[in-house]
Amino acid sequence: DIQMTQSPSSLSASVGDRVTITCRASQSISRYLNWYQQKPGKAPKLLIYAASSLQSGVPSRFSGSGSGTDYTLTISSLQPEDFATYFCQQGTSTPLTFGGGTKVEIK
Amino acid sequence: QVQLQQSGPGLVKPSQTLSLTCAISGDSVSSRSAAWNWIRQSPSRGLEWLGRTYYRSKWYNDYAVSVKSRVTIDPDTSKNLFSLQLNSVTPEDAAVYYCARTVTGTFIDSWGQGTLVTVSS
């Protein structure tokens, strides 16, 4: 199975801050890397697929980059509605596997 | 717009079978470009993919090794839904269970609302 390691596990930030979350795969996943946002009591929501493609309806302050084993989710200017938990997921092979999550909290 | 509506009991006794269904609207369970997945989430195990069913001229299933001996995911074409059965549950199977659609097998673009399953006598 491909292991996905996210960092940090949590962070505190202020509205307007630039936030970066990283995800490392245990082997190359050829940009089959997706990012999700989850709020309490809700299902995850797709933000970014294929490492850098923005899902329809997702604000452009969210962006993704990376290749090989290392990937990054960036929120260019954190908004109040962005306080949530973020997960990465590899889609190159089954079992689909997820990172442990990054909780973004208000500073 | 695809919508997935989950149903099933939220309480299951130890050693019994967990059964959930996921009704699909806006797509077909027989779609040749989608796969239909079950995923669970718990504080101890995080997000864990359990398996999927999909149609590509015939039906296929893939299951996670961790549950392979206990799990069945089946389509129901007459009702346009798919189901999860997990046998011989233990307290470790307590989690929020989600049904979900993957497109091209790689990313999850639609999720059910989630079902909190408790395992207790």
What does the pLDDT look like over A83-97, one tens digit per residue? 999 999 999 999 999
pLDDT, position B104: 78
pLDDT on residue B103: 87
* B49: chain A residues, CB-CB within 8 Å: 94-98
Of residues A43, A46, A97, nearest to B107 (C-beta): A46
Closest residue in A to B42 (Cα–Cα): A100
pLDDT of residue B98 exceeding 90? yes
Substitution target from B4, B5, B42, B47 for chain A, most A beta carbons within 10 A:
B47
Q: How far apart are CA A106 and CA A90, in angstroms?
A: 28
Residue A52 is predicted with a pLDDT of 98
In angstroms, what CA-CA distances link A64 with A11, A79, A88, B1, B101? 18, 17, 11, 24, 22
Does the structure show a pLDDT above 90 at A9? yes
Cβ-Cβ contacts under 8 Å, B62 against chain A: 94-95
Q: Do B49 and A94 touch (CB under 8 A)?
A: yes
pLDDT averaged over every residue in chain A: 97
> Does B105 score more than 80 pLDDT?
no
Give A54 to chain B, closest Cα distance, Å. Answer: 12
pLDDT in tens, A52-89: 999 999 999 999 999 999 999 999 999 999 999 999 99
pLDDT of residue B53: 98
Tokens of B105: 């097998």
pLDDT at B66: 96
CB pairs under 8 A between A and B: 56
Contact B28, B118 (CB under 8 A): no
pLDDT at A97: 98
The nearest CA of chain B is from the CA of A71 a distance in Å of: 15
pLDDT band at B40 (very low <50, low <70, confident <90, very high): very high
> Which residues of chain A does B52 touch, with a Cβ-Cβ cutoff of 8 Å?
94
**pLDDT computed for residue A8 by the predictor:** 98
pLDDT score of A43 more than 80:
yes
Contacts of B112 in chain A (CB under 8 A): 43
CA-derived radius of gyration, chain A: 13
